[in-house]
Chain A
Amino acid sequence: MSTNGTYVDRGAPPAHRDAIIRVRDLAAGFGDRLIIDGLDLDVWRGEILGVVGASGTGKSVLTRAIIGLVPKKRGTVEVFGVDLGEASLKQTLAVERRWGVLFQHGALFSSLTVKQNIQVPLREHANFSPRLMDEIAMVKLDLVGLKPAAADLYPSELSGGMIKRAALARALALDPELIFLDEPTSGLDPIGAQDFDELILTLRRTLGLTVFMVTHDLDSLAQACDRIAALGDKKVLAEGPISDMRRASHPWLKAYFNGPRARAAAAEI
């Protein structure tokens, strides 16, 4: 689709701003050590937000605090308008069904085949006939660009790229409105990473997804993300489209977005 110099069709950026995630004054960390402290962030419906930051600035902690895997010390996290700190168990479960999470290493269940992995959320949260469940699993496989033959393989028989795709298919099983991607392109070859970016854009176009993506991949940031939030000093250092980032004055942002690799990525667009 997109090669050097061609226009990348990124789909429609959100027309009106409607916050799907609203983080206010968030503090979280391990023990007494706060990794993020007083962080504010909004994610708008329909956008692809890229989260960047040096190692240890709390990208993963932020993601895990939003999805509730790391307890927060202070602040509020609202997803789909529900304050997850105050929500009842029922409300929390309802929210959890509306999002999908792609873990960095896939986190596929190792004793289930790819197809069974995709069917886990379908089996648990929906009432489908066996035939429909099979067909939906194959539809999702096709959606993420895996061949039907991959359906009956076990995670240990998959390549790194296939694991990411299979895990994405599982995250998409219940048609989530919001999807969290933790370093989706890490460990992929550049062509695989580019395919993955295009896949995310296609899914956004077809399913109207909102994407929260933690990434280090400058190409992904430039090609796929509508907006970038850079973490540092326990807060969001800067947010905005990549053009803003390139003009930022913070030394780390300067080094990151104007380094030789960033210039190479920019030249491709």
Chain B
Amino acid sequence: MEYSTLITLREGDICKVARIQAGTTATMRLYEMGFNTGARVQVLKNDRGPIIVGLGGHKVALGRGLAEKMLVARSK
């Protein structure tokens, strides 16, 4: 399985969360918001400013710094 950070993905890409390395607090927060291991995430916007992803039918904006610390597995 190829891992990359969320920030490197492009609009439309779908991936699964593999590992988050953003410090205990931010990691827990993301985990509890549904970015847990295996969660299916779709990149909706990734150009400038926070990245917007779709998660369980809802949109979440994540700071770019955070998206750099999310390891994901691309699924297509």
Verify that A and B bind, or say they do not: no
Q: Which residues of B contact A (CB under 8 A)?
A: none
